[in-house]
Amino acid sequence: MILVTGGAGFIGSNFVLDWLSQDDEPVINLDKLTYAGNINNLANINKDPRHIFIQGDIGDTALVAALLAQYKPRAIVHFAAESHVDRSIHGPAAFIETNINGTFGLLEAVRAHWTNLPAAEKSAFRFLHVSTDEVYGTLSADDAPFTETSAYAPNSPYSASKAASDHLVRSYHHTYGLPTLTTNCSNNYGPYHFPEKLIPLIITNARAGKPLPIYGDGQQVRDWLYVSDHCTAIRRVLVAGKPGEVYNIGGWNEKANLDVVHVLCDILDTLDPKSDGSYRDQITYVTDRPGHDRRYAIDARKIERELGWKPAETFETGIRKTVQWYLDNQPWVSDVQSGAYLKWVEKNYSQRQVGEEIS
Ligand code: NAD
Ligand code: DAU
């Protein structure tokens, strides 16, 4: 079996659902269920004996040691993290605690377990660390996309904490020989995406008749990847990745934020039209994110060349499926927009000034 951390979050739950739809190998899912973790994401497998859910902290080394001793997973896929840049600006401490100290505790428990495995199991063992393109910092318009050898230059407390965790993972391979794999992926979107992030926030605000907040001039560029393509890439790296290696994962889908918001409005105008006007009328320019990275872009040629992975979805197909998913899953949306969510929205948006439209 494998042990997944953070498997009740956005990407982790998509990964667990994908895994069990393709494979009979059981999954132990260790998740603290923070505000971002949602057990309802896993409702379709709540009676599936191949899925063992454990609520707990990755930094609880005694718990992790006990799980490793009891279940003897052949691999760890480590998703658990604090993941939202804006939250890291308002409160970095949780990011240091989970992304750095938590990953350190997890690595220590795994190292102790792995060291005592018989030789064959030891060499077959894998620790796959799921990371982000944000560790490489920001690009200007004419820079080449990030490769696996781009220098680290994180700019937010979130990306700095992920960079630190990447370095720890690297050191556990280099120093102890732990068979690690690190993936650095671009922006994901798709089902179960928590509506604090741009794409689900725009879809849910649009339908609720609320403003669609664009930070700054809306010309910041992200490289979008449909979440199931990220899951396929991780499975491929787990099977064929070389221990100690890093693989960049991206969709070759660079889009400016304003263009993404326009596409979302246009799809909603078709699938769920308003009684008058367009969803574009709700677009509102607000104060920019401090330290906002201008552009991310991933050069995904290494994973394509060495492991034969390519995304299956284009932005056009993936974004349409995503909007349709949110339209079809209104109870999930209502459920996650609870009291704590509303407090976050108030904190993040109430102090941003509303500006004039920039043409
Ligand atoms: P998410 O915030 O949706 O989910 C994180 C999950 O981790 C939640 O279920 C949460 O309960 C759990 N968690 C948090 N702290 C924990 C702890 N101390 N112990 C156990 N569980 C804990 O995040 P996501 O968007 O699904 O991202 C998953 C991973 O992928 C993260 O490591 C993130 O850095 C990375 N990543 C995300 C993206 C993206 O676009 N979302 C892109 C590249 C990489
Ligand atoms: O690049 C990978 C990263 O992508 C992951 O590591 C992070 O976990 C994930 O959250 C995501 O980070 P971003 O900051 O790029 O995603 P977010 O959805 O928060 O914002 C996307 C862009 O949209 C960014 O330029 C900020 C902008 N934005 C965001 C929000 C929430 C707005 O203009 N308005 C908003 O209200």
Q: Which ligand 2 atom sits nearest the alpha carbon of residue 197?
A: 18
> What is the pTM assigned to this prediction?
0.98
Q: Does residue 17 form part of some domain?
A: yes
The C-alpha atoms of residue 268 and residue 207 are separated, in whole angstroms, by 8
| Domain assignment of residue 273, yes or no | no
Q: ∠35-229-280 over CA atoms, to 5°? A: 65
What is the 157 CA–ligand 1 centroid distance (Å)? 15
d(CA 16, CA 37): 13
Task: Give the residue whose CA is nearest to atom 20 of ligand 2.
Answer: 198
Residue 342 CB burial class (10 angstroms; 0-12, 13-18, ≥19) = exposed
Beta carbons of 15 and 45 less than 8 angstroms apart: no
CATH of the domain at 154: 3.40.50.720
Range of the domain at 117: 2-194+223-255+294-315
158 is catalytic: yes
Domain membership of residue 83 (yes or no) is yes
Q: Check 31, 136, 158, 279 and give the catalytic one.
A: 158
> 34 pLDDT exceeds 60?
yes
In a domain, 325, yes or no: no
- Residue 99 in domain: yes
Q: In whole angstroms, give the CA distance from residue 258 to residue 255.
A: 8
pLDDT > 90: percent of the chain: 95
Classify residue 90: in a domain, yes or no: yes
Is 125 domain-assigned?
yes
Domain tally, the chain: 1
Residue 53 lies in a domain: yes
**pLDDT per position as a tens digit, 80-139:** 999 999 999 999 999 999 999 999 999 999 999 999 999 999 999 999 999 999 999 999
